[in-house]
Amino acid sequence: MAELGITLVGDGELVPCVDGTERPYLSLDAAASTGALPAVAERVAEFLPNYSSVHRGAGWKSQQATAEYEEARAATLVFAGREGRDDVAIICRNTTEAINHLAYRLGLAASDVVLTTVVEHHANLLPWGRLCRRRYVECGSSGTFDIDAVRAGLDERPVPRLLAVTGASNVTGWVLPIDEIIDEAHARGVPVLVDGAQLAPHRPLPADADFVAWSGHKMYAPFGAGVLVGPRTAFASGDPFLAGGGAVDLVDLDEVVWTDPPEREEAGSPNVMGAVALHAALDALTTIGWDAIRSHDDALGERLRAGLQRIDGVRLLGPAHADVLPVATFVIDGMPHALVAARLSAEYGIGVRHGCFCAHPYLTRLLGLDDAEVEAYRQAVLQGDRTRMPGAVRASAGLSTTLGDVDRFLDAMREITSGAPAPVTYGIDPHTGDFWPHADGGPWSTAMRRLGASCARG
């Protein structure tokens, strides 16, 4: 593998460890969020002096900002393979907002059915459940399903109003046979939404999907912009998801005439900086090329998973033989997932994700939990105790990850699983389920602890 030689903003930043030394920070959490590509940061810095109101000002800077914003919108359509089609790109905050936006705009009735799968991120489960009925494609013990399971879900009555499916799992990295899935849905007249959050930084988005959503913060543009792409006709009538300035042609005290999409769907001042950053990231990925990215991903993923498989007590979750992104999700016999993640951070300066990855139904299946075990941890959480929350550890690579980075992580894992005592003791916070080192003074001391969202939540 020819390494890409890419360094993200913040790569190698020195972080404190419990032994009193500083180590270069190694992020193996690309599946959650990525740092900015230098080209993205540079483009944002170049644009910043010209920032101004969009679509509303006659001034030179407003004209420039509007042009940049609309060029970014056009770039998302090209990136999604929508050239020559009457589709629109709606710029929003992230994938979660994009899916909620679409769920509202489809005008679903409570009796309607959306077909989805048990491998989804909560962002592609919860919006549908608050509006209509959900039907699920179930997975096997490997966390995958075959095309026959999708056909069965599509053929069940009533016919689904929509198939909402991820392009790649945020938990296992499994890349679904998305083109075949789309073909089966379209053969039955069912439109398809693809959650492209994980897919977009690694593979081309499926051009035949009716709708596709993805986020900039997972593809090296962490400035708060995401995208929903779909047919113009889907947004040409009815009330928009957000009501406010910029989405209207006429307003009086008793009536509103909404403008045309996509502006109809973007009330309020938009995130111009986020759009500019996203445009720069799309350009950068296109320049690198999908073949180079795929080669890089495959080499890292193979090294990562093969190395973990050789460590006693480590069990990988997900498919053993399938198309996967550079992701490895695992558990260690006899060691809480939260403690593994805490030790990697505090002792080695390595950042990973742990918990349920905002995919509780999928994790319980991958872990093989029975109904009694699920009910037990649910009751504990409802009583404010997250120490029993199940989960796993996920290491995920990105464009700047090297084989040396993977080896550094594997060396740390071998030490953690060796049975040797940790250099400090750790305590667990029952309110979050997270572990924290017992350190005397310094950045890792209890007094310096920052309480926030827990990986047990999702």
Specify if 409 maps to a domain.
yes
Q: Are residues 264 and 297 in the same domain?
A: no
CA 335 from centroid of its chain's CA atoms: 26
Q: Are residues 55 and 149 in the same domain?
A: yes
Beta bridge partners of 396: 29, 327
Q: Are residues 98 and 185 in the same domain?
A: yes
Q: Are residues 190 and 295 in the same domain?
A: no
For residue 365, which phi and psi values (nearest 5 degrees)? Answer: -75, -45
Looking at residue 209, its pLDDT comes to 98
Q: Which residue has the tokens 């991903």?
A: 297
Best CA proximity match to 283, nearest among 224, 345, 216, 223: 216
CA 284 vs CA 75, 280, 287: distances in Å:
12, 6, 5
- Its domain, for residue 20, covers 14-32+289-448
Specify if 421 maps to a domain.
yes
Q: Which residue has the tokens 């890419």?
A: 6
Single-letter amino acid code for the residue at 291: D
Single-letter amino acid code for the residue at 98: A
Specify if 391 maps to a domain.
yes
Q: Which residue has the tokens 């209509």?
A: 132
Contacts of 135 (CB under 8 A, 6+ apart): 113, 114, 115, 116, 153, 156, 160
Tens of pLDDT along the chain (458 residues)?
567 999 999 999 999 999 999 999 999 999 999 999 999 999 999 999 999 888 887 888 999 999 999 999 999 999 999 999 999 999 999 999 999 999 999 999 999 999 999 999 999 999 999 999 999 999 999 999 999 999 999 999 999 999 999 999 999 999 999 999 999 999 999 999 999 999 999 999 999 999 999 999 999 999 999 999 999 999 999 999 999 999 999 999 999 999 999 999 999 999 999 999 999 999 999 999 999 999 999 999 999 999 999 999 999 999 988 899 999 999 999 999 999 999 999 999 999 999 999 999 999 999 999 999 999 999 999 998 898 899 999 999 999 999 999 999 999 999 999 999 999 999 998 888 999 999 877 788 765 665 555 565 66
CATH of the domain at 49: 3.40.640.10
Best CA proximity match to 230, nearest among 198, 194, 267: 194
Of 218, 253, 287, the last residue of a domain is 287
d(CA 96, CA 80) in angstroms, rounded, equals 18
Q: Are residues 212 and 317 in the same domain?
A: no
**Residue 173 zone, left/alpha/beta (φ > 0; ψ -120 to 50; rest):** left
d(CA 380, CA 382) in angstroms, rounded, equals 5
Q: Could you give the 3-state DSSP secondary structure of residue 190? A: coil
What pTM does this model have? 0.95
Looking at residue 73, its pLDDT comes to 98
Query: Are 154 and 163 spatial neighbours (Cβ–Cβ below 8 Å)?
Result: yes
Please, what's the b/e burial string for 214-234 (b: 16 or more CB within 10 A of its CB; e: otherwise)? bbbbbbbbbbbbbbbbbbeeb
Contacts of 368 (CB under 8 A, 6+ apart): 141
Specify if 140 maps to a domain.
yes
Number of domains in the chain: 2
* Beta pairing class for 327-332 and 314-317: antiparallel
d(CA 6, CA 24) in angstroms, rounded, equals 16
Q: Are residues 356 and 404 in the same domain?
A: yes
* Angle of helix 290-309 versus helix 403-416 axis, rounded to 10: 20
Looking at residue 457, its pLDDT comes to 63
DSSP assignment, residue 225? -
CA 304 vs CA 37, 411, 435: distances in Å:
23, 11, 25
Token digits of residue 330:
């695992």
Catalytic residue among 139, 356, 358, 455: 358
Q: Are residues 77 and 198 in the same domain?
A: yes
Q: Are residues 302 and 279 in the same domain?
A: no
Looking at residue 27, its pLDDT comes to 98
> pLDDT tens for residues 280-300?
999 999 999 999 999 999 999
Specify if 181 maps to a domain.
yes
Query: Which residues in 126-216 belong to E strands, given as ranges?
Result: 133-137, 162-166, 192-195, 211-215
Q: Are residues 283 and 312 in the same domain?
A: no
Known active-site residue 92? no
Query: Are 248 and 240 spatial neighbours (Cβ–Cβ below 8 Å)?
Result: no
Query: Are 127 and 100 spatial neighbours (Cβ–Cβ below 8 Å)?
Result: yes
Of 266, 287, 308, the last residue of a domain is 287
CATH of the domain at 298: 3.90.1150.10
Specify if 8 maps to a domain.
no
Question: Burial, 254: exposed, middle or buried (Cβ in 10 Å; 0-12, 13-18, 19+)?
Answer: exposed
The enclosing H or E element of 277 equals: helix 272-288
> pLDDT tens for residues 258-285?
999 999 999 999 999 999 999 999 999 9
d(CA 389, CA 453) in angstroms, rounded, equals 14
Q: Are residues 424 and 409 in the same domain?
A: yes
d(CA 414, CA 3) in angstroms, rounded, equals 25
Query: Are 110 and 134 spatial neighbours (Cβ–Cβ below 8 Å)?
Result: no
Contacts of 355 (CB under 8 A, 6+ apart): 337, 338, 389, 391, 392, 433, 454, 455, 456, 457, 458
Single-letter amino acid code for the residue at 168: A
